[in-house]
Structure 1
Amino acid sequence: MHVRIRDVTTLSNDWYLLKKTTFDYRRRDGSWQTMSRETYDRGHGAVILLYNLARRTVVLVRQFRFPAFGYGGTHDGYLVEAPAGLLDAASPEERIRAEAAEETGFRVDRVQRVFDAFMSPGSVTERLHFFVAEYESSQRAGDGGGIAAEGEDIEVLELDIDTALAMTADGRIEDGKTIMLLQHAALHLFATR
């Protein structure tokens, strides 16, 4: 055991759970050090990049994110992202299929898990499951746009992969999970075309 929990205090349990934990940590040299950390627990999530190899396109979404807007007042808060959502007790595969349909209108049956990642392990407990799925125009069963009752107001974007990659380079795409999936697509999906 390299961690002994001393105390856990709930700081907030409104939108998600914010806790302060005091613990002893065994260092590599064998000595113990007492530390305190705040962790934000919002559950685990899944994210997907829909792609079409023949047309060399990807489907992304654009939506308002208050934390981006609130950061220093220098951002309009609109981010271009890959569709994503919290698992909410569903399997990652089930949840990401539902999120893709809700946000983009595309119903995909076959999804491929490519990797998992902690996005901000210094303070957030969330682990994201990353997926890709090939789509066809015929799989668009609705308009997408998200669920208005949940505050979602999502614009669906179908972009050429080269345009999407250029948007990461020039700062029009700033979302980490999306950049990771676009890089995966460039290296593994569109590399041979």
Structure 2
Amino acid sequence: MDAANDVEIIARETVFKGYFQVDRYRLRHRTFRGGWSAELVREVFERGHSVVVLLYDPERDSVALIEQFRPGALAAGWNPWLIECVAGIIEEGEHPDDVARRETLEEAGGEPSAMVPVGDYLMTAGGSSETCRLYCARVDSSTISGLHGLEDEGEDIRTHVVSADEALAMVRDGRINNAMAVVAVQWLALEKDRLRRDWGV
């Protein structure tokens, strides 16, 4: 099935527009049994599209992570200071590569010497249009430390450098508990040997 032929959008309206946007869709789609579904009414969170950058130092086999406050985690009843990967929203007209490099500098004070695009995925397809492009960036982790972020964007970011093994342990024991970082660190665990060979380490 494909959206062009198998989905009928009956109506779409913006029901909220603030820092983010919520659109309400009335639609129906073809079913696996044949025919069409009943009309569905669904709200979709329009957050924009993002990049995530896993900062990896192959010489030291270390990962640079960031920590910052997240209101969504607070609303869920979780500790709102999350250990994450560098990430940022792709603004209109920006190339994801440029966003990845900019966010690495703004959020961690690092400059990638190489970047590998890992892939694209949907964040929460049941209720959001947001897509994420994941990169692995080669960095010198000895240059990454301290506090970062743009004050005018309300960012208050602390950096952490840990071994690649420790990053994976943090995923296993729940210290890293957000999807973007979990996906990135697990990818590195699977691909690290190949990546190090490609980078001549």
Matched, 1:76 2:79: yes
| 1:5 alignment partner, SS class | strand
Residue in 2 aligned with 1:112? 116
Report the equivalent of 1:96.
Answer: 100
Q: Provide the C-alpha distance between the structure 2 equivalents of 1:138 and 1:76, rounded to a whole number of angstroms.
A: 28
Residue 172 of structure 2: which of 148, 169, 172 is its match?
A: 169
Where structure 2 has 5 or more consecutive residues not aligned to the other structure, the ranges are none
Counterparts of 2:48 and 2:34, CA distance in 1 = 32
DSSP-derived class of the 1:69 partner: helix
CA displacement at 1:41 relative to structure 2? 0.7
Task: Please tell me whether residue 127 in structure 1 is matched to residue 131 in structure 2.
Answer: yes
**SS in structure 2 at match of 1:28:** coil
- Cα distance per residue 1:132-162 (max 9 Å; x no partner): 011125765x956111110110001111111
Quote the offset at 1:76 in angstroms: 2.2
Q: Whole-Å Cα distance in 2 between the matches of residues 139 and 157 of structure 1?
A: 11
Deviation of 1:116 after TM superposition, in Å, equals 0.6
Question: Letter of the aligned partner of 1:171 in structure 2?
Answer: G
For residues 139-158 of structure 1, what are the structure 2 equivalents within 5 Å? 145-158=148-161
Query: Per the alignment, in what secondary structure is the counterpart of residue 175 of structure 2?
Result: coil
Question: 1:1-57 CA deviation, whole Å, 9 max, x = no partner?
Answer: 111111112210111110110112111233112111110111111001111122110
Residue among 159, 165, 190 paired with 2:162: 159
Gaps of 5+ in 1: none
Task: Give distance in 1, aligned partners of 2:146 and 2:162.
Answer: 16
Q: Aligned to 1:87, which of 85, 90, 103?
A: 90
RMSD: 1.8
**2:51 aligns to what?**
46
Superposition misfits of 4+ residues, deviation over 3 angstroms: 137-140, 190-193
Looking at structure 2, the residues matched to 139 and 108 of structure 1 have their Cα atoms a distance apart, in angstroms, of 11
**Mean alpha-carbon deviation: is it higher for 29-38 or for 124-133?**
29-38
Asked whether the equivalents of residues 64 and 141 of structure 2 are also in contact (C-alpha less than 8 Å), the reply is no
SS of the aligned residue for 2:148 comes to coil
Identical aligned residues as a percent? 31
- Say which SS state the counterpart of residue 180 (structure 1) adopts: helix
Q: Given that residues 147 and 156 in structure 2 are in contact (C-alpha distance below 8 angstroms), is that contact kept between their aligned partners in structure 1? A: no
> Alignment length, in residue pairs?
190
Give, as a single letter, the amino acid of the residue that structure 2 aligns with 1:178: A
- With normalisation by structure 1, the TM-score equals 0.92
Which residue is equivalent to 1:28? 32
